[in-house]
Structure 1
Amino acid sequence: MTFNDRIFGILLIVLAVAYGWGATQFPEPFGGAEGVGPDTFPLLLAGVLALSSLYLIVRPDPDNAWPWSRTGVELIIAVVVLIVYTALLQPLGFILSTLLAVGTLCWRMGASPLKAYATGGVAGVVVFLIFNFALDLALPLGLLSFLEVN
């Protein structure tokens, strides 16, 4: 079933190009500073995704069957959760969006709802703090903008 890997690889290349293009649309940092900016990490991810996609196209797995059972449904749910996550990132903010996305994905993988959403909340807060204070890269606060430190 090398056909499935090649189709998936082509879809992932389209995603990598769209993701990379989206990263170039971020506004320039104040002062036009060179070096690490808000587009650096997403561009690296787009590059890794594109290279991995090319590998799938050039060297597909000969024994790969498409998972139309419960695994296929779970994969579709995960993709939908990630699409909704990107749509909610600006209005809800990084912390709440991450809480919902990571919590839902953990719950779908078998964690209890309380543990799943606690994990999502901790992940959202920790990553937010790392990006805002250690990396000095602002993430949207959305509904939690009242927490913004001036």
Structure 2
Amino acid sequence: MALNDRLFGVLMLVLAVAYGWGTTQFPEPFGGAEAVGPETFPKLLAVVLALTSLYLIVKPDPDNAWPPGRTWLELVIAVVVLVAYTLLLQPLGFVIATTLAVGTLCWRMGAAPLRAYLTGLVSGVVVFLLFTYALDLPLPWGVLSVLEAD
């Protein structure tokens, strides 16, 4: 059964390399090279993914097993939610898309629907405010763009 981990590790290593290469395609920031630019965080993610992938390849879990059918269904739902999130982020805006994505994922993990979507709303608003005002990294307003101040 260690083959499962090794196969997954190889696939994730390929993803890490592709993702890392993608970060090198970002345009150079205005004003020359900076120590920390828009590619820094994605590069860190690529390195962490590569290291954990190598660990899975070198030291797989001897007792791993494929999850049962219900777990596969939940994993497919999670992937569909995340793909929909990326597609809806620009048109709906960060807060609404995040509310829907986080709320749906929380609900699928067993939270009551009202609490799940309230958690999504609070998460979306807090992260939006943090990125937009504290970090000065604007996130998409989407349908809320009528509220956007110039």
Q: Which amino acid aligns with 1:62?
A: P
Using the TM superposition, name which of 6-15 and 56-65 deviates more. Answer: 6-15
Equivalent pairs, count = 150
**TM-score, L = length of structure 2:** 0.86
Q: Shift of residue 27 of structure 1?
A: 5.0
Equivalent residue runs for 1:70-85 within 5 Å: 70-85=70-85
Q: Shift of residue 30 of structure 1?
A: 4.6
Q: Shift of residue 21 of structure 1?
A: 4.1
Equivalent residue runs for 1:38-117 within 5 Å: 38-117=38-117
**TM-score, L = length of structure 1:** 0.86
Structure 2 unmatched runs, 5+: none
Say which one has the larger Rg. 2
Percent identity between the aligned chains? 74
Question: 2: CA distance between counterparts of 1:32 and 1:93?
Answer: 30
Q: Shift of residue 146 of structure 1?
A: 2.0
Equivalent residue runs for 1:16-55 within 5 Å: 16-32=16-32, 34-55=34-55
Quickly say closer, same or farther: Cα 1:144–1:136, change in 2 above 3 A.
same
> 8 Å contact 1:38–1:137 — kept in the other structure?
no
> 8 Å contact 1:93–1:141 — kept in the other structure?
yes
Using the TM superposition, name which of 74-83 and 53-62 deviates more. Answer: 74-83
